[in-house]
Amino acid sequence: MITCLHIPSAPLNRFIDYFYYYAGYQPEHSIDRMLPDGNVQLIFNLTDHPQYIYDNETLKEIQSCRRIWFSGFRTEPISIPSGKESEMVIVFFKKGKAAPFIREPMINLTNTVVDAELVMDSVLLDVRDQLQEIAEPSQKLAYLETHLLNRYLHQLRENPFVDFAIQRILDMPNQSSIRTISAKAGYSQKHIIKMFKDEVGTTPKEFLKIIRFQQVIRQIDYQIDVNWTAIADDCGFYDQSHFIADFKTFSCLTPAAYLKMRGEFLNYIPVG
């Protein structure tokens, strides 16, 4: 397997976490269930083979993705190809920071995968052609960074409140609430919800739930015998029933079933 990771320079590094290239991955399974993690991605398929999205229950193909697509904020899992025989370049945006690149409110793209040229820029199709021509993975990623900087520099605007609220939730997921964030920021809860929907793609409450869920996933990574009551309490869940309900919502599995099925990579479960 060939991989390459590239961290952008300023000012893109305030909006994009990293660029990632991979090719030659050959897992035994063909389908992964990807869990909600608070992230959104821009994905370049550098092969001519379409990638599919599958129904979470039946694993039947429900959508075909070609060339480039934007994957919006997720509040539910999605079943996708495992990466077998793929060649991809993926842009991982920082949490809540993709809005300057998108032509519409982020809430319109929640739980969707759409052709990127429809919501970003049709020039991305030419960029994909160039990425296919460049042989060296590191040069592919450097070229993509240069293009995104040149194309979007004038649109790169930050929202200090959204940044504050997200960082607060990330730093203290078990101690955060909309009420405390609203009080510290001086905005009404209604205004907070509107800003979050437009720029993040969900409400602060849903974002907080996903971050708490992710705290659980990271905390139990590599554990075999898990004290679920202690985990739920440590991660800020109100009680065990709320914890189990959220876990099923975000994974389609019970916590015990997740332990048996979890795969090689965090947030990716082999299902087919």
Please enumerate in sequence order all residues whose Cβ is within 8 A of that of 233, keeping only pairs 6 or more positions apart, or say none. none
How many whole angstroms separate alpha carbon 112 and alpha carbon 132? 26
Residue-level pLDDT at 184: 73
Out of 3.40.710.10, 3.30.470.10, 3.40.50.10860, 1.10.10.60, the CATH code matching 160-270 is 1.10.10.60
Please tell me the total number of residues recorded for the chain in this structure. 272
How many whole angstroms separate alpha carbon 20 and alpha carbon 264? 18
201-227 pLDDT, tens digit per residue, is: 999 999 999 999 999 999 998 888 889
The winner for highest mean pLDDT among 72-76, 164-168, 220-224 is 72-76
> In DSSP terms, which residues pair with 2 in a beta bridge?
23
Supply the angle between the helices 189-199 and 178-185 in degrees, to the nearest 10: 100
Contact 214, 220 (CB under 8 A): no
Predicted TM-score of the model (pTM)? 0.95
48-70 pLDDT, tens digit per residue, is: 999 999 999 999 999 999 999 99
| Chain-centroid distance, C-alpha 163 | 17
Supply the angle between the helices 204-219 and 240-251 in degrees, to the nearest 10: 90
Is the bond leading into 11 cis (omega within 30 degrees of zero)? Answer: yes
Q: Is the pLDDT of residue 160 over 80?
A: yes
Would you kindly state where each structural domain of the chain is located, as residue ranges? 2-155, 160-270
How many whole angstroms separate alpha carbon 44 and alpha carbon 90? 6
21-39 pLDDT, tens digit per residue, is: 999 999 999 999 999 999 9
Q: Is the dihedral of CA 265, 266, 267, 272 positive or negative?
A: positive
Task: Work out the mean pLDDT of the chain and round it to a whole number.
Answer: 94
CATH number of 2-155: 2.60.120
Q: Which residue has the tokens 């319109």?
A: 108
Residue-level pLDDT at 10: 97
Residue-level pLDDT at 48: 94
Q: State mean pLDDT over 244-260.
A: 95
> In DSSP terms, which residues pair with 19 in a beta bridge?
6, 91
Q: In the numeric block, which tokens belong to residue 213?
A: 């869920």
Contact 68, 172 (CB under 8 A): no
Alpha helix (H) residue ranges in 189-239: 189-199, 204-219, 228-234
At 29, which helix (H) or strand (E)? none
The DSSP secondary-structure symbol of 155 reads: G
Residue-level pLDDT at 180: 78
Q: Assign 3-state DSSP to the chain and report helix, strand, coil percentages, each to 5.
A: 45, 20, 40
